[in-house]
Amino acid sequence: MHAERDFELEQELPANHEAITQDLELTTLWSAMAAGDQLLFEVARRAVLLSLRDPQEIVYRQQVLADCLENPELARELYALAGEALEAERKVWGGLLSDRPSSMLGISVQKLEILVGFLRRLRQLADQHAESFRSPAFTRFFAMLAEELDDPYFELVESQLKALRFGSGMLMSAQLTSGNRGAAYTLRRAREQSRLARVFDRSGYSFTIPDRDENGFRALGELQDRGVNLAANALAQSVDHVKSFFEMLRIEIAFYVGCLNLRERLAEKGEPTCLPEAAPREELALRGRDLYDVCLTLTMDQPVVGNDLDADGRSLVMITGANQGGKSTFLRSLGLAQLMTQCGMFAGARSLRLSVCDGLFTHYKREEDEAMEGGKLDEELARMSQIADLIGPAGVLLCNESFASTNEREGSEIARQVVRAMLDEGVRVLFVTHMFDLAESFFRQGLDSALFLRAQRGSDGHRPFKLSVGEPLPTSFGEDSYRRVFGRSIAESLDPRPVGGVYSDPR
């Protein structure tokens, strides 16, 4: 996930993560990536919310993703292998006396033997498939496995584990201190002797504990614990080290497995995807073809309509037009494209190039909340104030019907001042609005840095869900509302000819 550091699941999320999760419906995206796996969901959630800001880091992650897209079976096998290793390690039960050094040593030997077996499987996968991967991350990973998990390493580990089972007996040394107390207990490498040789060994003193001497066995156990204490601690740390390796491998590969799951869902629906080009923030790049709302298509049976956009060099994009014409959906597709690009994954488009930003913020209209202490306008102003405290230059602000809770004159004036302040600070603003006064006031200025899009509407009220470049129109398309209520057009209602033998009266 990163070239020089591990991906941290405990890293603090942005202060606005709840708002953008709600407004962009990100839970739908993460659920598709997770496919029921909780770890995949959490890794996807954090990867998307913790955006990368360096185009080179994004390219690094995209290269890994490209390898996984070409080798999906192996990517999933690596994820599954790491999970199997951790599950097998957890199944080793230590018993009631697992806190004793001698018991800890025996448990650690069992666990390490299991984990070494999975390390062998991992090395085999590397040997078989290393040549199929070209990204710097996978190339370095497979080279590390080949160098550090070679045959002499496995032979050494297995010989050490065999010795720690004490098949030839346990040999310790100690020193006597004042009062004949033992000290400096040290575990020694046992001499290789046959059982018969050990029986006739008279090189030192020996004694035998009677079968029913519980105190004797307890004292011997205490001596044994002292002798193996250092070895038990060292081996337990070795187990933790190998275990943490598999944990991190599973987390690091989880993001790409989630991307594979999402890519398959979109491919089933025939939706296009691309690896977008992340441009430096100062370029103000924003250009795409067939850009669509990934979360919307995941909830529908048929593909959704995509839109083309060329907003390079534009710091303000104002979107107006007919109700239910696709404006909010298009705005959400832009927000998703920004996040998906900056986490290093593909985007929902045939092609896409956009500048990285230093933070994505959303200000969407909210449903009435009975628990609110003030009015809706107060609540909108409070949320915008919080955004103003957090956003900075090179930030992106998505506004959807902001300040529409008051009359158009007041709402337009508030929105005008907010937009101007944001633009002055170097923030890119994408604003969906029905307020003609607001949109028309910016259009009249003839700003080269502004782009005006309008949702299309056919003469019969049909919505193609396409946006085109165009000036704001002073219409609310009230005939559409009339048709929804009465089931016919205003022209038909004004026709004095009889309907069913009775003259219709539009009044």
Nearest CA to 51 among 393, 341, 329? 341
Residues 261 and 297 in one domain: no
d(CA 443, CA 132): 53
Residues 146 and 290 in one domain: no
Asked if residue 19 belongs to a domain, the reply is no
| Strand stretches in 280-342, DSSP E | 286-291, 307-310, 316-321
The DSSP symbol for 209 reads: -
Q: What is the pLDDT of residue 25?
A: 96
Asked if residue 15 belongs to a domain, the reply is no
Q: What is the pLDDT of residue 503?
A: 32
pTM of the predicted structure, to 2 decimals:
0.85
Pairing outcome for strands 396-400 and 428-432: parallel
Asked if residue 24 belongs to a domain, the reply is no
CA dihedral 254, 255, 257, 258 (to 10 degrees): 120
**Which of 268, 286, 307 lies at the terminal end of a domain, its last residue?**
268
Q: 110 near 92, Cβ under 8 Å? A: yes
Interaxial angle between packed helices 55-70 and 136-148, expressed in degrees from 0 to 180 and rounded to the nearest 10:
70
**CATH at 474:** 3.40.50.300
Asked if residue 298 belongs to a domain, the reply is yes
Q: What is the pLDDT of residue 181?
A: 79
Pairing outcome for strands 182-188 and 171-176: antiparallel
Asked if residue 247 belongs to a domain, the reply is yes
Structure tokens at 105: 């040593």
Residues 243 and 285 in one domain: no
Asked if residue 31 belongs to a domain, the reply is no
Centre a 10 Å sphere on the Cβ of residue 264 and count the other Cβ atoms it contains. Answer: 12
d(CA 308, CA 286): 11
d(CA 228, CA 230): 6
Residues 259 and 311 in one domain: no
Residues 373 and 447 in one domain: yes
Asked if residue 389 belongs to a domain, the reply is yes
Residues 415 and 457 in one domain: yes
> Would you call 164 helix, strand, or coil by DSSP?
coil
Q: 340 near 294, Cβ under 8 Å? A: yes
Residues 385 and 252 in one domain: no
| Strand stretches in 315-407, DSSP E | 316-321, 351-355, 360-364, 396-400
**Which of 244, 268, 292 lies at the terminal end of a domain, its last residue?**
268
Could you tell me the mean pLDDT of each successive run of 10 residues in the chain, 507 residues long?
91 95 97 97 97 96 97 97 96 72 85 95 94 95 94 91 77 78 75 63 68 73 73 87 96 98 96 97 95 96 92 97 87 98 97 97 81 79 96 96 92 96 97 95 95 81 81 67 53 47 36
Residues 354 and 240 in one domain: no
Residues 183 and 319 in one domain: no
Q: What is the pLDDT of residue 492?
A: 54
Nearest CA to 119 among 243, 233, 1, 6? 243
d(CA 500, CA 398): 51
Residues 258 and 301 in one domain: no
**Which of 250, 268, 286 lies at the terminal end of a domain, its last residue?**
268
| Half-sphere CA count of 154, side-chain side, radius 13 A | 18
Residues 240 and 328 in one domain: no
Q: How many domains does the chain have?
A: 2
Residue 478 structural domain = 277-486
Residues 336 and 219 in one domain: no
Asked if residue 35 belongs to a domain, the reply is no
| 129: Cβ contacts below 8 Å, ≥ 6 apart | 71, 74, 142
d(CA 485, CA 473): 24
